[in-house]
Structure 1
């Protein structure tokens, strides 16, 4: 514990306090010797970084609980690794920087449940660079992250229905080997329809405002 505290730049009393609060996992024991490793050091550095970003110890404990209850990256990617999306690896503190003040245990749990986030050791993996950047841009524009994740859940439902519609149609009318080639056409239809729907909705909103 003394060596771990020295590496982390904190006191032994602080390490012991974090252990008692469950903020770091128990050490590996061999007889009377307790062994700490790089995982413990990474966790202590994460705690320090989150404290600097304004998180409380109670909040960090809640985040750790949500983080540890999430599915690991192998399980999430095993559900169907994205063929066009690029996963992004993040430390917990980097995630906090993306969504300043919005990384709560509730939001983290919601993102894990959606499959947007997965765990890989001491790192977090976001399943899609595009979704990460869009979500962060919406939060910077003033939209609460909870609202973004709520909308994402609804979009997921509609997206699944659209995917089922197109795959069923192409399975019935196109040769099996052609379905993947026709995938961009399906995406173009959805993009065009969404664009026109946004135009109609924005015109209606503007008219009401006038």
Structure 2
């Protein structure tokens, strides 16, 4: 890894690099526009991934997009999560089914937070799995099954993209593969729908 890729900055250094105050950096972070800093001991540190994200936010803002629209574009799960039945409903549904809870955590659909609470990891995936009137338990079960089926394909897709695009920074690779996979699946589904319709 190069020195530049490994560079870590304090909030003062980060703010100076992007031409902002530390207060503004914290404000963008609180709004979900900038990921939380990495921790080195008790010190919050920023890296080049934070720089890339902040520069993207500033570029979109300069083009006239409001911050809420930018947040929805760059972190749709944060926005969508506000509209999903999480919290107590999720905990209740999953705790009633320990096997499903274990499978959901193992597959990465649900994350157990340090305080023991549960969080759905990808709101878009939950919405895609949900059927009108389906229980949260059923929705999570469908999602866990889909992740299990896709896991081997995901591993080979990640490896293949990494081989064919070595210039993509590792921190951007997963996002690139997810979006490419989404495009490919959407195209296949679209062709399937048009064939069925004719």
Q: Normalising TM by the smaller chain, what interval?
A: 0.3 to 0.5
Higher radius of gyration, 1 or 2: 1
Q: Which has the higher contact order (CA 8 A, sep 6+)?
A: 1
Q: TM-score, normalised by structure 1?
A: 0.40
TM-score (normalizing by structure 2):
0.42
